[in-house]
Each structure stands twice: as C-alpha cells, then as structure tokens.
Amino acid sequence: MSWLEPDYPTIMSHISKPKIPPELIRPILEHVEDKTCLFSLTVTSKAFQSEAERLLYLSVTKCRDGARHALFLTSINTVQRLPPLVKEYEIYSVVDRERDAVLWGLLKSALNKMINLKVFKFRELSGQPSADMIFYAPFQLETLYWGNYYDEEPMRIILAEQKNLKALRLECSRGTTPYSLDACPNLTSLWGNRYSIGALLPGRKIIDLSWEPDAGDSFKSPVLGLEMELSQIKIMSFGGYFRRPSLKKIAHMLTSIEVFELVGCREEVSMFT
C-alpha cells in the first residue's frame, strides 16, 4: 500500500477517540441525575465509562428492592475497580440476616472491599444485632447511622477504630455505661435516646444533638454530670414518635443554643412543665 493511499484503520481509530477531554466530561456528567442513564453510559460509551461509573457508585442510597440490591452487591464483589468508588452507602430494611444468607454474605463481603466508604447508614430488616459484620472494617467513616438494637457492646470495638467519625446515630438501652473517649474522639454530631446521650455525650465536644426519647424516657431524675457538655450544644432537635418529656431539668444548661427544633405533633406537651 502506497503512503498516498488512505490507511482506513488508522483514520477510524483517530475518529473513534473521544474529542472531549476528561476535565470537561466530568462537569457534563455531573448534571446527569438519572441512575439508569448513567448506567447506560457505562456500557455504551468508552469515553464516558470511567466518569459515569464514578458517579453511579459514588452514592448508593434509597434502594428498597432486594433483587436489585443483590445485583449491586454482586457487581461490587466481582469487579475490582468498583468498590473503591463507593463513598456513601445506605441500606435500610432490605437484608434479613436469618432468612437470606446469600444476600447477607454478599453484603459482608462487599463492605470489606469498600475501602473509601465515608457515610454508612444501615438497618437489618428486623433491627436485630448486626454490628459484627463491620468488625475491623477497612474504611474510616465520617458518618454512621446504625438502626439496629442491642449492639452497644460490639460498637465499643467498632467506634474505637473510627477515629474520623463526626456524626453518629445509635440507640442504646438502659444500663449502657459511658464509652471510652478513645471511641470516635472527633464526634461533633450525635443522634439517639437518653441512654445514647448518657453513653456518648460525656467528655466529647458535641455541638449538634438530636435527642429522640423512647417510650420509657423521662427527665424525672436529674441529668447529672453533663452540664458542660450540654452547654456546648449549638443545634438541638428534641422529640420524635413518642411523647416528649419536659425540658425543665436541662433547659438552664443549654446556654449556647442557636437552633432548636421540637419534633412531634402532641401540642399538649409543654417544653418546661
């Protein structure tokens, strides 16, 4: 073939290369909010695949379908480039530890691969203890919302490993003793019931507190030893599904409050009486 004759494979290879540089592809794809569309881009366009995958797996939330979740976890467990992309992961009442051993196994295996996970929100279907699945996890979280019950003791091990944790949601039970200050030393936001507050507020500089009383919560006995910690709170949410107890016992301690939210619909409940 003469050098004057066109080299069609070479020409076509140049034509097929993406004309848009990567630094322009990213802001374009960041405007694509539909997950289905992002998935289509990962399988139809080499030019967009990498960036579309990053956005598709960056935040995996609000998936309530067990079959679809199984497909997601299978992908995480089989394609090595995908687990490090996940930064936020939420799974509420999708996995049943006792009845779905396959999905539970996929979940445990996938979590051990999500090395860059920063936000994890989890509740097993029935809320039974499940903290053992993230013992010695490879990630360092910034936010952990834990929706299971009676996991206070395993959480002592887990929270001692999470040095970067800033926000925690955890419900404790009566008799839970205070956690060591080695557990999540950088915590600034806490959500829980009275027993959670008693276990995790002491000695920490919490500025954002969501106090959701449970059925047996009350302030009939004085809140002792938390005067300094409560005086640092700037943002506070109080109330939830159950009746709010009176704030009379602690109102005088909330000296730094800037934003205060009362949650609930029982108008007859007074803040201070």
| Residues near 140 by beta carbon (within 8 Å), at least 6 away in sequence | 118, 162, 163, 164
Model confidence at 3, pLDDT cuts 50, 70, 90, reads: very low
C-alpha count within 13 angstroms, C-beta hemisphere, residue 225: 9
| Residues near 221 by beta carbon (within 8 Å), at least 6 away in sequence | none
* Residues 85-97, mean pLDDT to the nearest whole number: 95
- Report the interhelical angle of 101-111 vs 66-78 (nearest 10°): 40
Could you read off the pLDDT of 39-55 as tens digits, one per residue? 777 777 777 778 888 88
Say yes or no to pLDDT of 271 above 60: no
Unique residue bearing structure tokens 């005086």: 231
The predicted structure's pLDDT at residue 246: 72
> Residue 92 and residue 68: Cα distance in Å, rounded?
14
The predicted structure's pLDDT at residue 256: 96
Distances (CA, A) of 242 to 150, 238, 239: 20, 11, 7
The two tokens of residue 139 are 């990630």
The predicted structure's pLDDT at residue 273: 36
The predicted structure's pLDDT at residue 19: 67
Say yes or no to pLDDT of 122 above 90: yes
Say yes or no to pLDDT of 110 above 60: yes
Unique residue bearing structure tokens 């029935």: 126
Amino acid in the structure at residue 203:
G
Please give the share of the chain, as a percent, with pLDDT higher than 90. 58
Nearest to 160 by CA among 189, 133, 185: 185
| Residues near 72 by beta carbon (within 8 Å), at least 6 away in sequence | 60, 63
Average pLDDT, the chain: 84
The two tokens of residue 269 are 């409940």
DSSP code string of 234-258: -EEEEE-SSPPPPSTTTGGG-TT-S
The total number of residues shown for the chain amounts to 273
Are the C-beta atoms of residues 216 and 193 closer than 8 Å to each other? no
Could you read off the pLDDT of 221-238 as tens digits, one per residue? 445 678 999 999 999 998
> Residue 43 and residue 198: Cα distance in Å, rounded?
51
Unique residue bearing structure tokens 């579309």: 52
Residue ranges with strand state E in 153-228? 167-169, 189-192, 208-211
The predicted structure's pLDDT at residue 215: 66
Say yes or no to pLDDT of 192 above 80: yes
Unique residue bearing structure tokens 């009566």: 174
Model confidence at 96, pLDDT cuts 50, 70, 90, reads: very high
- Sign of the four-CA dihedral 84, 88, 94, 99: positive
